[in-house]
Structure formats: structure tokens, C-alpha cells
Amino acid sequence: MPNIKSQKDRVVQAKKEAMHNKVIKSNLKTVIKKADAAIDSNAADKDAVMKAAVSAIDSAKSKGVIHKNTAARKVSRMAKRANKAAAQ
């Protein structure tokens, strides 16, 4: 348990930041699942859904929630799946 005031403040801030990051990650997972489903079903709005997913990934990356390499990997794999589905 922290005894110094600044340490107590940092504990509160860390909890707040963790909750904020959790919300962003949860939203990110939801958007990625929707994009994957749209790609698999070859939906008409697949491009718009994929664009929203890439935007959400980039937003999470810029906020420091996920690492830039993780973001690049997720976008790359999604694009690869979309191209493979379009070719069939």
C-alpha cells in the first residue's frame, strides 16, 4: 500500500488508464470480429467494415494501447484474408 501522496495518485491513475485501455481493446476485438465475419461471408459492405477495423486498429496504436508491430500484423493479416477471399 502506498504511503506517499503521489504514489496514491499514481495508483488511481493506473486503474483509470487500465480501464480506458480495456474499453479500447474490447471495442477493437469486436470490430475485428465483425470485419472477419464480413470477409468470410463476402458481404457487400465488407470494404467499409474493413476500413472501420483498420481505423480502430490505427487509433489504438496511436493511443499506445497496442504496439505498432501488433497493429501492422493485424492489418496485414486482415488484408491478406480479404485478398484471398476476393480471389475466390
The pLDDT value recorded for residue 1 is: 85
> Which three-class secondary structure string do you get for 31-50?
HHHHHHHHHHHCCCCHHHHH
In the chain, the amino acid numbered 24 is I
3-state DSSP helix/strand/coil percent for the chain, to nearest 5? 85, 0, 15
Question: Looking at the predicted structure, is the pLDDT value of residue 88 above 90?
Answer: no
Share of the chain above pLDDT 70, in %: 100
Query: pLDDT, tens digit, for every residue of 30-67?
Result: 999 999 999 999 888 999 999 999 999 999 999 999 99
**pLDDT exceeds 90 at position 82:** yes
Domains of the chain (ranges; CATH) run 5-87 (1.20.58.110)
The pTM is what? Answer: 0.87
Least Cα distance to 57 among 24, 85, 84 occurs for 24
